[in-house]
Structure 1
Amino acid sequence: MSSNHTNASSNSGSQGTDYTITSTGTNSQGNHYCHRESSAGGGYHYSNNDGSYYYNNPNGSTYHNNGNGSSTYTSPSGHVVKK
């Protein structure tokens, strides 16, 4: 069963696009994942056991937070911003 959500997380580099979750689960390392589809394309999100998380957005951008206060955003054009 799919559910509709609004992706409003500015940290993920998203554009506030409505999306439909197409699959969720837990991988072999015990980390939660969520694949989602929107009019802009597909993307996915991992929430890891160590507190880190990762977004791969439909526009080609990525966002990784290491769970310890550091993060890396990579734009669709490949520009990297670390905090």
Structure 2
Amino acid sequence: MSSSSQNNGYTIKSTGTNSQGNHWCSREFGPSAPSQNNYHYSNKDGSFHYKNPDGSTYHNDGKGNSTYTTPSGYQVHKSDGQQ
């Protein structure tokens, strides 16, 4: 499915569901964004993942654990103790 809706400073270019049943959307932040390969996944297991225009990523496993990776590769882990 294709879309051109404006949302929080980005345009949703396309959305869909992959063969594993996980939802994804491709996002465009404009021509001045450092990266044009931006997306978001919402997975059936409750986890989700973002690839941001600055090259950073954010992953949450859906169980209270998350990892933010900066554009330079530095990782910040956070856990609220749920398993």
**Amino acid of the residue matched to residue 2 of structure 1?**
S
Name the SS for the 1:22 alignment partner.
strand
TM-score, normalised to structure 2's length?
0.83
The Cα shift of 1:49 comes to 0.3
Alignment length, in residue pairs? 72
User: Cα RMSD between the aligned structures?
Assistant: 0.8
List alignment gaps of at least 5 residues for structure 2: 79-83
Residue type at the aligned position of 2:58: Y
Confirm whether residue 37 of structure 1 aligns to residue 32 of structure 2.
Answer: no
Q: TM-score, normalised by structure 1?
A: 0.83
Query: For residue 72 of structure 1, what is the aligned residue in structure 2?
Result: 67
- Equivalent-residue separation in structure 1 for 2:55 and 2:29 (angstroms): 13
Runs of 4+ deviating beyond 3 Å: none
Deviation at 1:72, TM superposition (A): 0.3
Letter in 2 for 1:75: T
**Who is 2:55 aligned against?**
60
Query: Larger RCO: Structure 1 or Structure 2 (Cα < 8 Å, ≥ 6 residues apart)?
Result: 1
In the aligned structure 1, how far is the partner of 2:61 from the partner of 2:29?
A: 26
Determine what percentage of the aligned residue pairs are the same residue. 65
From 45, 49, 52, the counterpart of 1:50? 45
Question: Which residue is equivalent to 1:15?
Answer: none
Q: Which has the larger radius of gyration?
A: 2
Deviation at 1:5, TM superposition (A): 0.2
